[in-house]
Amino acid sequence: MKYKTETSAGGIVFKIVKHPSSNFKQVLWLITQHSKHKGWGFPKGLIGDKDSKESIEDAALREVEEEGGVKAKIVIDKPIEVKYKYRFGEYLVDKTVYYFLMEYISGDPKNHDWEMMDAKFAPTDEVRKTLTYKSDKEAFEQALKIFYNTT
């Protein structure tokens, strides 16, 4: 078996929605469904796959826009680091993903790219039930702790 490493960056994007009939505010989170493996997660992708000098932050913002259809801003400088392994053909891939907590600026998840079959904003409980992978569930719980300690 051959081994390789990959490093990706992405975003855990929140949007605060105020309901018009009350002062109630709801926090929604951007999740995406991959068109190949059908799993639900957060937008992410390889760092530098389009520009070898791309920073981790720029890659994360780009992936959120491409896969999630929205523009966002990074609100916490230190990313949430996730590590896991997976098989790809004859390779065992050791993957590290850096997720940044981000706040929604503009755009519509319906404008996601071809890599995703769906993208949407969902409330916290739905996100917890919908995420496919343990690593994303753990990253989301870390993001929630950061979010509720800083907002």
**Sign of torsion, CA 83 146 17 25?**
positive
Domain region containing 36: 2-150
Q: pTM for the whole thing? A: 0.91
For residue 150, the model assigns a pLDDT of: 76
Q: How many domains does the chain have?
A: 1
* pLDDT per residue as tens digits for the range 78-111: 999 999 998 989 999 999 999 999 999 999 999 8
User: What pLDDT, in 10s, does the model give residues 34-82?
Assistant: 987 789 999 999 998 777 889 999 999 999 999 999 999 999 989 999 9
The residue among 107, 32, 104, 46 whose CA lies nearest residue 75 is 104
Q: Where are the beta strands (DSSP E) in the chain?
A: 2-18, 25-34, 40-41, 44-46, 70-74, 80-88, 91-107, 116-123
In a 13 Å sphere around the CA of 84, the CA atoms on its Cβ side amount to 14
CATH number of the CATH domain containing 83 = 3.90.79.10
